[in-house]
Structure 1
Amino acid sequence: MEASTSSCSSPLSLDFLPPPFSPPLHRRISAASIHFRRHKPLSHSLYPNPISCTINSSSYLGISISPKTRFNSLSPSSSTRTRSSPIIASAFERFTERAIKAVVFSQREARALGKDMVFTHHLLLGLIAESRRPDGFLGSGITIDIARDCVRSIWHNNQKHIAIGLFAVDDGSAGRVLKRLGANINHLAAVAVSRLQGELAKDGREPPARPKRARDKLLPAKGTVVRYSEKTRDKSALAQFCTDLTARASDGLIDPVIGRDNEVQRIIQILCRRTKSNPILLGEAGVGKTAIAEGLAIIVSQGNVPVFLLKKRIMSLDIGLLIAGAKERGELERRVTSLIKDVKKSGNVILFIDEVHTLIGSGTVGQGNKGSGLDIANLLKPSLGRGELQCIASTTMDEYRTHFEKDKALARRFQPVMINEPSQEDAIRILLGLREKYEAHHKCKYTLEALNAAVHLSARYIPDRHLPDKAIDLIDEAGSKARMESFKRRKEHQARILSKSPDDYWQEIRSVQAMHEVVLASKLNKDDGASNIEDDRKLPNTSLPVNDDEPMVVGPDEIAVVASLWSGIPVQQLTADERMHLVGLDEQLKKRVVGQDEAVAAICRAVKRSRIGLKDPKRPIAAMLFCGPSGVGKTELAKALAACYFGSEAAMVRLDMTEYMERHTVSKLIGSPPGYVGYGEGGTLTESIRRRPFTVVLLDEIEKAHPDIFNILLQIFEDGHLTDSKGRRVSFKNVLVVMTSNVGSTAIAKGRHNSIGFLIADDKSTSYDGLKALVMEELKAYFRPELLNRIDEVVVFRPLERTQMLEILNLMLLEVRGRLVSLGIGLEVSQAILELICQQGFDRSYGARPLRRAVTLIIEDLLSEAFLSGDYKPGDTAIIDLDDSGNPVVANRSSQNIYSSDTTFS
């Protein structure tokens, strides 16, 4: 039956209705014409020769060709005729354009071969010719040279359906062609189905269900079922969600475990129990819990275990993989029960569950994690209790207390094994065992001193982590750094070679020839010792080129550089520049702090002791108490030290003790206790030190703090650490603690006067010791003995003299001049103005703060008024002097109406 249509250029939509690989359908449309309906535009270039196709009954997809028949629109009469066989009329109705194009190409291939019918191998050639993928037909590697281009994926029922139909034909010639080309028919069918389903999923459509007879056609010759849509069903739950540690150990993919024999034997002892043979490894993060389980896998693979464990396999369960993708209700439970079933069936599997606390509450159904819900842990309980499931678990002590101890039924099924942090000696032995692995990876060599340095430096300067993990990370990053430097060295060497001139190469050649001649001469005259000495003197001083392929050597200096990078603490060897910086630290501080030589010397001594390594490693760098009148430079000295040695003033942690005058404010330092607002946020002091462990802590006006604050300081000064509200230990071993206080100011003022009230001159040899004794008496009356006894040094600041005020004034004017530089304006101040400022700002009782107010009043206020009313532009210079009446005035350098006076500050 044929239907006449209009020309092929008319709009057509050819969408396929049922799957084309259904054998009943193909048999029902045998020896019949295929009808088309107008629906969607098609490119006329696809159909240069209109065709009419009939299905040959000898083959499912054999199509006869009639080149003279055209497709015309269905007339009412033809529609009536078609209605008698609707399946025939709609067979190709839902084909896409590319599917029709593939059929057209198959017609061309058949015609080129001199055939008047299209068989399955012609359709295969049409599919390959229509496709444009560079990796071959359906990714099989079949290219245009052997059969045409490969198929390219499109969105709906397309030529992939035809491909699936071809693969399902048992006696089709397309199958013989594919076999001759070396292609796997079942694999190509699976690829076609999976791509088709992916395209349908992107479009939000469900793939059509294949009839059972059609699925049976896709079975391999030996009857093994190939599941295309669910490939993972061919794998057991163990293979999907677990990793065989024993197999990895047999292949040498696991690092050796050293120094954990007692823990491994304890685990073996628990595993050999009749009931409750489930050890749980408890220890802090980084102590080696997972490594111990891997070490047990190594021992099992080597056969060094009791007979009971000889045939056991240790499988590591990936909890994330077990949960991932289980979005349907009951899917996670099905996976867990399948896993338990596979473990029971194998009979020789020991599960290793790392971070086992994540099982509690995972995939909870019902009441959540409140205890009555059904989660993974509750699914495992029956099998664990009956001994049908044997596992090794690991978690930290905090997680064990938080989760396991609350669930008594789960906790009693596990036997705890404590994993403590190894000693430094054991950590060194662990690094020695791992050295070969890391040397092979980084292509470098680790010295024994480097391994020792990694352990000692990590233990001292990285307190918030544990051995051996932090030491292993140190040598790992040091090896990575050495590898990068080796790469840079090779690049630089290549650049030097390319930049050399021919004369340089000839010079090297002559140098090598001269060395060769000297060596030959020394061999001829080897009996003459004197001549050998002379020949050695003739050796040129030039060295031979270095072999850039030689491995880099990682020593303790490279380890120290990485440790400094991690902690921010300078632990590497002193360089010449740093040594000069430390030697000149006193002079740098004296430029900012005037008249306090004793205080500067005391704080510099503490810094030098720490940098050389002579300080007590268990205590802070120093704990100092600065006492003296207000405004003499106590706070300024701490700022100057932070800027000159620690990098910037921002490196200083400053706490104003006037904010801690109440008892409850103690929690602000270490964090709020549980149940209070702010719990979990950390304390101001502890969090600052955790972020920057090498710094200056300034406790300003310490005498104004609540006495309970002093109890917190006792632990810092003596042990060098402080425990915050969350139980974390914060190290203060690389912190310089400075406290300032005005206690003793009265004693200092009284000590400078005689019994009848007259001011006495200072005796520099005895006055400082006398003032310090007076201050100590007053401190003992205010602070408790246990606090004073833990302070390294009490530094007394002297009252400022008039000459020192002039130096401080120059520093203040330098700051003003620096602010004017941003405006492009210079500043000059006369000597008369300096004397006026000192006269108004000098007060022995209040220090330099009145001087600052005088600078603001006389200099800054005068400049601001002049800039607003005058004509100042970048490049001008403001000159401040006194007029005839003694009042300060300011003008440009070009102005003539100011008092003429020599300027001393510019």
Structure 2
Amino acid sequence: MLLLTNDVLVARQRTAQLYHKIREGHALPPLESRRVFYIDLEAIVIASDEKSIFEGNLRQTFSQAVDSGNIILYFENIATAIRSAQTLGVDLVDILSPYFESPEIQIVFAELSENYNKQLSHESRLAQAFDVIQMKDVGMSGIIDLLQQRALMRERRTSVVFTIPALEKIADVADRYFPTGVMPDKAFDLLEELVTYASAENVEQILAVHVESFVSKKTNVPIGEPTEEEKQKLLSLEDVMHKRVVAQESAVSAVAKALRRARSGIANSKKPLGTFLFLGPTGVGKTETAKALAEVLFDDEEAMTRLDMSEFQAENAVEELIGFADTGKSGRLEALVRQRQYGVLLLDEFEKADKGVHDLFLQILDEGYFTDATGTSVNMRNLIIIATSNAGADLIWELEKQHKDISEEKRVLVDHIISHGLFRPELLNRFDEIVVFHALQMEHVQEIAKIHIMNFAKRIAEEKNITIAVTDELVDYVASKGYDPQFGGRPLERAIMEELEQVIADEMLKGTLHSGDTFTFKKSSEIPSSE
């Protein structure tokens, strides 16, 4: 049997359903004694150094299955496996052909419809041996039916009762909040964990709220209605973010409003939590806004993961992100999402990425997932995705010279970007919000300088017990050294290092500044000093 699908997970779901029916005694008589095994052909290729070893391993696997007489072998991504075997000089179909007609074994191949049409439809040996079936998604209702059967069995053994809303919630959250594994297996596993939880907590009836609470603790993802604390955090998002992000009121407001829509449940749950394109010149606070958002929403700046999109300009850029089918090597995006499925994903310098990468994110922004090199869906619906770009920076400068409000000139800026071929209209339309950052003026840089100096002063006080007097004179001096109209506030860190950190380090080494002392900046002929 050759199963065709738009998502290999669908075939895996159906095979998993068959496995569970057999194990629980609900299969029809011809299948009731069968055993189902998943064979990873890619892994066998990778583990084999040469042709003879691969052929030997493969024949041994099939011979054992034939000898057992009750085996169903399930394979995925057969087109990729055929190509990988060819690298060893092996005709995979030729080796497997003797087993296709064996009555002692049943073989199921699963393949993406697109791959079959492009690579396998011409393969007569497969067409003659297999019934080709186009599959449809099992659907949430089918998974809930299976959960009901499983829940009834557990109720008889443990007296733990699941309500229908609880089972519906299990199906929903297992699919959304657990990035690895397949449905319905993920839902079954969650149900079993909830049985254990209910027994330990003396809970006799599992409600939807129990499911939400359990999954939230397990994944560290807020699920269900926002708590009062979270509501206040969302409602005051602008004020809290402005403690780190200077100016850019329109940008911060746009982000905050979009996130409140997402968390309130109004936004489309099939998409990421929020998707934004930050446009603006260098050093105006685009990355700082993303960091501030991570810190405010997730209480941890490390909740932001950054990808430098200038690294994905080559022809194999998409494979670098989603993985390599021929070698089995995981992609960087896949690995990042599996490591941190809830947080902020920053796509820095997005305009520099290959057009194929833009196409990949076209799907991600629209549907909240992508398919990796193995045909497995990777869930990105629990992420806030922020792409930054300097596209249109020159126009922003020109508009500001004309004293125009940048936030009101967004349409002009977007048309400029499209006309120059930097982004396609369909990609721009997929973002929840295009956020424009204006250039920083001297007064803004002074505010940023004060924030950086205060943070530095706090660190020195904690680590060295030295107090830094943060005066207007110090702030103005560092801001003047760190301001560059072209690079915004980016040179500030270097200015603080050269004009403040270095002076303190020198004073400490000379023995003129000690633990318990206060450092006061004084400007004399542009040379800072301490007392």
TM-score bin (small chain) = 0.7 to 0.9
Q: Displacement of 1:471 after TM fit?
A: 1.9
- Identify which range, 283-292 or 624-633, moves more after superposition: 283-292
Given that residues 176 and 379 in structure 2 are in contact (C-alpha distance below 8 angstroms), is that contact kept between their aligned partners in structure 1? no
Q: Identify which of 472, 475, 494 aligns with 2:191.
A: 475
How far off its partner does 1:631 sit? Answer: 0.9
How far 1:443 sits from its partner (Å)? 4.6
- Name the CA distance, whole Å, in 1 between partners of 2:401 and 2:260: 37
1:822 aligned counterpart, secondary structure: helix
From 473, 481, 490, the counterpart of 1:849:
490
- Partner of 1:446 in structure 2? 162
Q: Rate the CA distance shift 1:352–1:840 in 2: closer, same or farther, 3 A.
A: closer
Are residues 1:290 and 2:6 paired? no
Aligned counterpart in structure 1 of residue 330 of structure 2, from 682, 685, 700:
682
Task: Name the structure 1 match of 2:386.
Answer: 738
Aligned to 1:432: 148
Task: State the AA in 2 paired with 1:695.
Answer: G
Cross-structure match for 1:617: 269
Q: Does 1:393 align with 2:41?
A: no
What are structure 2's unaligned runs of at least 5 residues?
A: 1-10, 45-51, 83-91, 109-132
Q: Map residues 444-593 of structure 1 onto 2, 5 A cutoff.
A: 444-462=160-178, 464-486=180-202, 551-593=203-245
Separation in structure 1 between the aligned mates of residue 384 and residue 197 of structure 2, nearest angstrom: 31
Question: What is the rounded CA distance, in whole Å, between the counterparts of 2:493 and 2:64 in structure 1?
Answer: 75
- Which of the numbers 639, 651, 667 marks the counterpart of 2:319? 667
Q: How many residues align?
A: 471
Determine whether 1:707 maps to 2:375: no
Q: Map Cα deviations across residues 481-526 of structure 1 (whole Å, 9 max, x no partner).
A: 232233xxxxxxxxxxxxxxxxxxxxxxxxxxxxxxxxxxxxxxxx
Cα deviation for residue 682 of structure 1 reads 0.9
Deviation at 1:658, TM superposition (A): 2.5
What is the match of residue 777 of structure 1? 415
User: Contact (CA 8 Å) 1:842, 1:851: kept in 2 or not?
Assistant: yes
Answer yes or no: is the 8 Å Cα contact 2:18–2:27 preserved in 1: no
Q: Is the 8 A contact 1:284 1:396 kept in 2?
A: no
Aligned counterparts of 1:380 and 1:792: Cα–Cα separation in 2 = 52
Say whether 1:879 aligns with 2:517. no
Report if the CA contact (8 A) 1:477-1:562 is conserved. no
Q: Decide whether the 8 Å contact of 1:626 with 1:740 is kept in 2.
A: yes
Report the alpha carbon displacement of residue 661 of structure 1 after superposing the two structures with TM: 3.3
CA deviations 1:288-321 (Å, max 9, x no partner) are 2233224557877xxxxxxxx9xxxx9xxxxxxx
What stretches of structure 1 of length at least 5 have no aligned partner?
A: 1-281, 301-308, 315-349, 362-366, 384-388, 487-550, 755-759, 892-906
SS state at 2:34 partner? strand
- In structure 2, how many angstroms separate the alpha carbons of the residues matched to 1:372 and 1:485? 48
Encode CA deviations 1:127-177: one digit per residue, 9 max, x unaligned: xxxxxxxxxxxxxxxxxxxxxxxxxxxxxxxxxxxxxxxxxxxxxxxxxxx
State the secondary structure of the residue aligned to 2:509.
helix
Partner SS, residue 269 of structure 2: coil
Contact 2:21 2:27 in 1 (8 A): no
* Distance (Å, rounded) in 2 between the aligned partners of 1:410 and 1:380: 10
Assess if the C-alpha contact under 8 Å between 1:623 and 1:717 holds in 2.
yes
Matched residue SS, 1:736: strand
Higher share of residues assigned helix: 2
Give the AA of the match of 1:841: G
- Please give the per-residue CA displacement for 1:734-758, whole angstroms capped at 9, x wherever unaligned: 222211111222112211334xxxx
* Partner amino acid, structure 2, of 1:394: I
Q: Is the 8 A contact 1:568 1:692 kept in 2?
A: no
Q: Which residue of structure 1 aligns with residue 443 of structure 2?
A: 803
Amino acid at match of 2:96: D
Structure 1: distance between partners of 2:155 and 2:234: 37
Alpha-carbon spacing, 1:285–1:568, altered in 2? closer, same or farther (3 Å): farther
Match of 1:353 among 31, 35, 56: 35
Residues 747-786 of structure 1 mapped to structure 2, 5 A cutoff = 747-754=395-402, 760=403, 767-780=405-418, 781=420, 782-786=422-426
Distance, in Å, in 2 between the alignment partners of 1:480 and 1:795 is: 47
Which of structures 1 and 2 has the bigger CA Rg?
1
Q: Structure 1 residue 817 and structure 2 residue 502: aligned? A: no
Q: Residue 364 of structure 2 is aligned with which of 716, 723, 742?
A: 716
CA contact (8 A) 2:279 2:390 kept: yes
Task: Find the aligned partners of 1:770 and 1:400 in 2 and give their Cα distance.
Answer: 53
Q: Is the 8 A contact 1:825 1:877 kept in 2?
A: yes
Separation of aligned partners in 1, 2:350 and 2:28: 60
Q: 2:128 maps to which residue? A: none
CA distance in 2, matches of 1:299, 1:670: 39
CA contact (8 A) 1:748 1:774 kept: no
1:740 alignment partner, SS class: strand
Normalised by the length of structure 2, the TM-score is: 0.79
2:39–2:75 Cα contact (<8 Å) kept: no
Deviations 1:443-498 (A, max 9, x none): 53322221121122223333543333222222221232232233xxxxxxxxxxxx
Cα distance in structure 2, aligned partners of 1:392 and 1:482? 38
1:839 aligns with 2:491: no
* CA positional deviation for 1:610: 2.0
Counterpart-to-counterpart distance in 2, 1:421 and 1:871: 74
Deviation at 1:733, TM superposition (A): 2.0
Match of 1:643 among 270, 288, 295: 295
Shift of 1:566: 4.9
Superposed CA offset, 1:217-247 (max 9, x none): xxxxxxxxxxxxxxxxxxxxxxxxxxxxxxx
TM-score by length of 1: 0.48
How far did residue 705 of structure 1 move? Answer: 2.6
Q: Distance between the aligned counterparts of 1:352 and 1:662, measured in 2? A: 47
Measured after TM superposition, the shift of residue 568 of structure 1 is 4.5
| Secondary structure in structure 1 of the residue aligned to 2:305 | strand
Question: Residue 658 of structure 1: which of 279, 299, 310 is its match?
Answer: 310
Deviation, 1:286, is: 7.0
1:452 and 1:474 mapped to 2: Cα distance? 12
2:256 equivalent in structure 1: 604
**Kindly tell me: are residues 749 and 787 of structure 1, through their superposed partners in 2, closer, same or farther at Cα, counting changes over 3 Å?**
same
Deviation string for 1:229-270 (max 9, x for gaps)? xxxxxxxxxxxxxxxxxxxxxxxxxxxxxxxxxxxxxxxxxx
CA distance in 1, matches of 2:499, 2:448: 16
CA contact (8 A) 1:353 1:392 kept: yes
**CA RMSD of the aligned region, Å?**
3.3
C-alpha displacement of 1:377? 4.5
CA–CA distance in 1 between the matches of 2:306 and 2:189? Answer: 33
Relative contact order, CA 8 A, sep 6+: which one is greater? 2
Give 1:562 shift. Answer: 3.0
Matched residue type, 1:660: F
**Structure 1 residues 832 and 847 mapped into 2: Cα distance closer, same or farther (>3 Å)?**
same
1:125-164 equivalences in 2 (<5 Å) = none
Partner in structure 2 of residue 407 of structure 1: 96
| In 2, Cα distance between equivalents of 1:467 and 1:793 | 32
Counterpart AA for 2:160: C
- For 2:307, what is the secondary structure of its paired residue? strand
Is this contact kept in 2: 1:283–1:397, CA < 8 A? no
